[in-house]
Amino acid sequence: MLPRVFAYSSNHAAPPNQSSRTPPPNNTNAKRQKLLRYLTKPYAAPPLLARFPTLHLAVRGLLFLLAAILSLHIFMEYFYTFISAWGISMLPTIASSGDWLLISKYYRRGRELGVGDVVSYKLPLRPGEAGVKRILGMPGDFVLAESPSKSGSMIRVPEGHCWIVGDNLVWSRDSRIFGPLPLALVTGKVLYKFSWTAWWNRIEHGLKDAEEVDYDVD
Amino acid sequence: MSRWAYTRSSKSFALYLFWGLGGAIFISDNVAQINTVSGRSMEPSLSPLDNTTGRKDTVLWSKWEVQSKIQRGDVVLFSTPQKPDVIATKRVIATPGDTVILDPRRRPTRRVSGADVPESLGWDMYKRRAVVPEGHVWVEGDNWRESKDSNWYGPISKSLILGRASAVVWPYYRAGAQPWNDFKSKTKVIKGAVERVDELEFCESLGPV
């Protein structure tokens, strides 16, 4: 028995003398002739809804699905995304697994970004993959080319690029490997992280004011 | 008549707007995009009359799995690396692992005086051989006199690429044509490939931890 919404109820009474025990007649030839007639003379065919009474439900369902896909795409591409992060490159800030990130797409293409922001970006060396790192330098800034090193060689971030480094310096593939990242590859800024143990936590930029230590004072 | 009156209501208008706009955004983000090529950098093949009569070509760019389909000789649409909001059109000369033998005519200089620009130093540092790294491509405009391309800013990431040219849609007398197939770039390329190291194998090769 079909559920009530799917059951076809017509105004017409059921044709008499039709027992459910007798199998339907095998009128394949008649059906074929009918189909041929409908195809050659479309105006002779009964309306689609009369032939397939649940058609409007299927169309309704498909349209609703399409509308949901469109709205979700627009929301996730231009407003906010909520995705799970994986990997140990941002370890003190973002766990290696199980953390979910709320990413604002307003900051895509480097709009209104600053040093210290955690951003999501498309990997330049592997198209189709994405990552999350922290910005250490904006265009014109001088940054250390290799952070844990004794050489201390610095480079200047070129126009339209940024320098991104993971918080876990010893295990992170970032600008120290592929160089400055074009701001066009930045897809958004991480605002909050969510995990089942700590719930919602805002991701701050890790910058502090420089402490003035006066060593002369005893 | 009554049906028409119903469809013209404001509720239906909002629905039409949603379907039209949403569908257009979804298609232009994922499937295909239409964009007009301006400027002289692709001159023999795209918008050849832009400098004289101002006639520009409007091109259909396919976006479906672009990054994996890119080959040498394709014309691509990409965000320029130095200006995030500007998009440009160039031809892919070399793919990852290739070695480009740089064309001295394309050395970055000031157009009128021929004086050096800051980019000239970077071009000289290649010593006329540029190896394209993993996930990157070397792009050049067809017009060597007027093109700011990989000779200026180096190889660009494949992630920057937005679309691959599939056909001209306007002006009408060029509609459906692929004029970039008639042009052959004179830049020499030594073909190569990048060996993709499997991460698991690499970790195992380090030995027991």
Q: pLDDT tens for residues A113-146?
A: 999 999 999 999 999 999 999 999 999 999 998 8
**Above 0.85 for ipTM, yes or no?**
yes
pLDDT(B188) > 90: yes
Q: Which of residues 136 through 165 in chain A touch B, CB cutoff 8 A?
A: 158-161
Q: Which of residues 13 through 52 in chain A touch B, CB cutoff 8 A?
A: none
DSSP A101-156: EEEEGGGGGGTT--TT-EEEEE-SSSTT-EEEEEEEE-TT-EEESSSS-SS--EEE
Q: How confident is the model at residue B100 (pLDDT cuts 50, 70, 90)?
A: very high
Q: What pLDDT score was predicted for residue B209?
A: 58
Q: What pLDDT score was predicted for residue A191?
A: 96
Sequence-distant (6+) residues with CB within 8 A of B71 are: B92, B95
Over residues A60-86, the pLDDT tens digits come to 999 999 999 999 999 999 999 999 999
pTM: 0.82
Over residues B72-83, the pLDDT tens digits come to 999 999 999 999
CA A213 to chain centre: 46
Distance from CA of B16 to the nearest CA of A (A): 12
Task: Determine the average pLDDT of the residues in A31-58.
Answer: 86
Catalytic residue among A89, A120, A172, A175: A89
Q: How confident is the model at residue B86 (pLDDT cuts 50, 70, 90)?
A: very high
Q: What pLDDT score was predicted for residue A3?
A: 64
**B135 with A126: Cβ contact below 8 A:** yes
pLDDT(A166) > 80: yes
**B83 with A159: Cβ contact below 8 A:** yes
Task: Determine the average pLDDT of the residues in A40-50.
Answer: 83
Over residues B8-49, the pLDDT tens digits come to 566 788 889 999 999 999 999 999 999 999 999 998 899 999
Q: What pLDDT score was predicted for residue A9?
A: 60
CA atoms within 13 A on the CB side of A35: 6
> Is residue A9 among the annotated active site residues?
no
Whether the Cβ atoms of residue B106 and residue B146 lie closer than 8 Å to each other? no
What is the signed CA dihedral for A40, A44, A50, A56, rounded to 10 degrees? 60
Of the candidates B29, B84, B133, the beta carbon closest to that of A184 is on B84
Distance from CA of B159 to the nearest CA of A (A): 5
Provide the residue count of chain B: 209
- Phi and psi of B89, rounded to 5°? -120, 125
- Known catalytic residues of B are 41, 90
Which of B157, B158, B206 best probes binding to A when mutated, by most A CB atoms within 10 angstroms? Answer: B157
CA B143 to chain centre: 15
Query: What are the domain boundaries of chain A?
Result: 29-78, 80-202
pLDDT(A216) > 70: yes
- In angstroms, the Cα distances linking B140 to A53, A165, B147 are 59, 31, 7
A63 touches chain B (CB under 8 A): no
Task: Determine the average pLDDT of the residues in A141-153.
Answer: 86
Q: Residue B67: closest CA among chain A residues belongs to which residue?
A: A127
Handedness of CA A187, A189, A192, A195 (dihedral sign): positive
Partners of residue A105 in chain B, C-beta under 8 Å: none
> Is residue A89 among the annotated active site residues?
yes
**B22 with A71: Cβ contact below 8 A:** yes
Q: What CATH topology corresponds to A80-202?
A: Umud Fragment, subunit A (2.10.109)
Partners of residue B85 in chain A, C-beta under 8 Å: 109, 184
pLDDT(B4) > 70: no
**% of chain B surpassing 70 pLDDT:** 94
> What is the three-class DSSP state of A75?
helix
Q: Residue A184: closest CA among chain B residues belongs to which residue?
A: B84
Partners of residue A126 in chain B, C-beta under 8 Å: 134-135
Burial class (CB in 10 A: 0-12, 13-18, 19+), A180: buried
pLDDT(B206) > 80: no
